[in-house]
Structure 1
Amino acid sequence: MATPSLIPTVVISGFLGSGKTTLLLALLHHMRSLGRKAAVLMNEFGDISIDGEILRGEGFSVMELSDGCICCQIGEDFVQAFTEVASRNPEIIFVEATGLADPVDLLDQATAPHLLDRVTIAKMVTVADPKNFTRLSKVLKAIVKRQTQFADVVVISKADEATPKQIADIRAYVEENNPHAPVYLVTNGQVAGDEEFRWLLADVEPAERERRRAAMRASLEALSEADYKAHTDFHSMSCRLLRPLVRSRFEHFMRNLPSDIIRAKGFLRFAGEDGLWVMMYVNGDLYIRPVTLSPSPEEHLVFIGATLDHARLASDLTACEAQRRALAVL
């Protein structure tokens, strides 16, 4: 009996808010345009899905693991979910890891013995946000270094918003820590002049990958425990919005979040304005845009940070409502 071919898997990592889902969405549209069957396994750190809802609203099928990190906290669930996704026989699998995922542990999970005859890790992709990368590489030294060193490709997202110095700083960091990895500039998930995604979808020769990763593991041993900020140092809070919000109040609230809240995202409606809006917040940068998704998700927000005052956040959000009523904190 012939051995079935292994399903190539592209793992997309990068810190919270780096642009992973935007890249993944562009890849999925590309696969759809080629008539190729792609599967998605997505991990959300919070207990409510935001990114998965966006992909489903665009018509893509997604399997999700929530409220933990696939590289350690929900590792067994990840292996089971990965096995189920592979059993659907897609032509390619995309795994979007939570921004807190450690690629060393993630690779261990993705190469569990009973997965080895079904899938192969074709490429590890790390997405870097130019506005926040330099600061994060100092504050979260180990996790950013690991995500960079284990990458086959480094993608600088939001290139149209970056300064030349920000891009140069990331290139210098990659050159120092992973000189074998090519670096690409991406805007809205697309690389100018390369609509076929050849830069990402081409496999890396297995022997070369193993040589790189052996060297990376050796260099990472020098990192101390103090350099590594663990998953337990981060927490999430989710809440459903029961009323439309007053835009001016909400934007003021978001722009004055405590500095230890590093990520927030969600769907909401504004009083006096039609339609659904998606909000993304990354280390002080706030993005709000209209979105049309089918099925339309419930209005809810997720906050991620080192410390979260649940009662204070809920109270401040309630004050943003056009007609005030207690929020449902999950």
Structure 2
Amino acid sequence: MIDLAIARVVEMRPSILISGFLGAGKTTLLRHLLKHLKTNDIKADVILNDYANAMIDSETLREDSESIEALGASCACCEGMDFLIEMVIKATESDNDILLTELNGTADPLPIVESFTLLENKFKLFPRWHVCVIDARHFEERSYHNRLERDQLETASHYLISHQEEVSTERLANIRLRLKEILPAASFVTEEELASQVLSLALAKKKCILNATNDAASNPPSKSPYHHLSHEITACQILFPQRVKIEKIKPWLKSLPDHVMRAKGLFDLTDDLQKRYLYERVGKDIPDTPYPVSLKSTVPSSAILIGPELNPSQLLEHAQATLLPEAQLSS
């Protein structure tokens, strides 16, 4: 005898997963997408995964999203997976139009993409796009982290290249050829093209037939053989108890040790009482202009430093000597 089951037809909403190596421009892309969606009256939920304290970046996104869940101090692809699933389920229960999730800069997207597929009935997210941001300045020039960067690409449905204006025409052409070799089936998009396509997804009302089974427990997510590279990176946070002089910030960023791969600092300035500012460093690169953050932000003035084998005590002493020679900092 054959058992018959009636498949349920339910309304789905799209999900955009953003990955990319440290400093590639994931949050910049997310910020652009949110502004474009808000301009068109699309309501977005956001999940932000970052090292140590995801709240720093979340403060630059809050005005353009309906809700933000910050998954900090853990990696979404491993110890943070259960928390990520809880956040996605919570977001699924909202009436907003789209879910955007940004992974931290060394996360392996494979187990997350598989978990989203295995839990499709529970999440009700479709289509699910995985967008990978490629940093033209450093692509395939990360020594033994090249394999991790490659893994972040391999489940991508779309990819875009950031910082194109900072490399030669020849290098950019070679990167595009290489990406076509690695991802022949994925779509190359510009930031504007992606924003337009994501808006179209959010405007469309999707109805899908759910699968009859949902056995995620018996099918644990896969992991790349190079997954361990995701966990060779550590992070620490430094708190600033008072305002900082603007002329001290960039010298401090420039003088950080070479093994600090990424630095982000949310500063209250002595020179501007109306705004707070997010300063960043990627490798040795420091953007000319910091990102302004509303004074309504309740996240403490602080910095997140990311890299292999960080020494928090030394970094704290360095910050004390460089930024606030007469103040007490804490880590």
Q: How many residues align?
A: 304
Other-structure match for 1:164: 169
**What amino acid is the match of 1:307?**
E
Contact 2:42 2:97 in 1 (8 A): yes
Contact 2:246 2:269 in 1 (8 A): yes
Contact 1:7 1:120 in 2 (8 A): yes
Report Cα offsets for 1:30-68 as digits up to 9, x if no partner: 211221222111111223522111111556521111111
Q: Does 1:230 align with 2:235?
A: no
Between 1:247-256 and 1:280-289, the stretch displaced more is: 247-256
Between 1:88-97 and 1:272-281, the stretch displaced more is: 272-281
Percent of residue pairs bearing the same amino acid type: 22
Report Cα offsets for 1:129-155 as digits up to 9, x if no partner: 11122313x431322112222111111
Q: SS of the residue aligned with 1:197?
A: helix
Q: SS of the residue aligned with 2:257?
A: coil
The normalised TM-score by structure 1 is 0.82
Other-structure match for 1:214: none
**What amino acid is the match of 1:234?**
I
Between 1:303-312 and 1:114-123, the stretch displaced more is: 114-123
Instruction: Note the 1:75-224 alignment, pairs <5 A.
Output: 75-113=81-119, 115-116=121-122, 118-136=124-142, 138-185=143-190, 190-191=191-192, 194=193, 197-198=196-197
**What amino acid is the match of 1:304?**
I
Shift of 1:240: 1.1
Q: SS of the residue aligned with 1:106?
A: helix
Report Cα offsets for 1:89-120 as digits up to 9, x if no partner: 32211111111111211113323436556223
Report Cα offsets for 1:311-330 as digits up to 9, x if no partner: 1111111113456122121x
Contact 2:51 2:235 in 1 (8 A): yes
Distance 1:199 1:292 in 2: 25
Could you list the runs of 5+ residues in structure 2 that have no partner in the other structure? 1-5, 203-207, 209-221
Between 1:11-20 and 1:279-288, the stretch displaced more is: 279-288
**What amino acid is the match of 2:76?**
I
Other-structure match for 1:302: 304
Other-structure match for 1:45: 51
**What amino acid is the match of 1:160?**
E
Contact 1:130 1:158 in 2 (8 A): yes
Contact 1:174 1:181 in 2 (8 A): no
Please report the RMSD computed on the Cα atoms of aligned residues, expressed in angstroms: 2.8
Other-structure match for 1:282: 282
Shift of 1:200: 8.2
- CA distance 1:166–1:241, shift in 2 (3 Å): farther
Contact 2:238 2:329 in 1 (8 A): yes
Distance 1:200 1:144 in 2: 28
Distance 2:18 2:200 in 1: 12
Q: Does 1:22 align with 2:28?
A: yes
Shift of 1:121: 4.5
The normalised TM-score by structure 2 is 0.82
Contact 1:14 1:127 in 2 (8 A): yes
Could you list the runs of 5+ residues in structure 1 that have no partner in the other structure? 207-219
Shift of 1:182: 2.6
Shift of 1:271: 3.9
Other-structure match for 1:54: 60
Distance 1:195 1:178 in 2: 17
- CA distance 1:114–1:58, shift in 2 (3 Å): closer
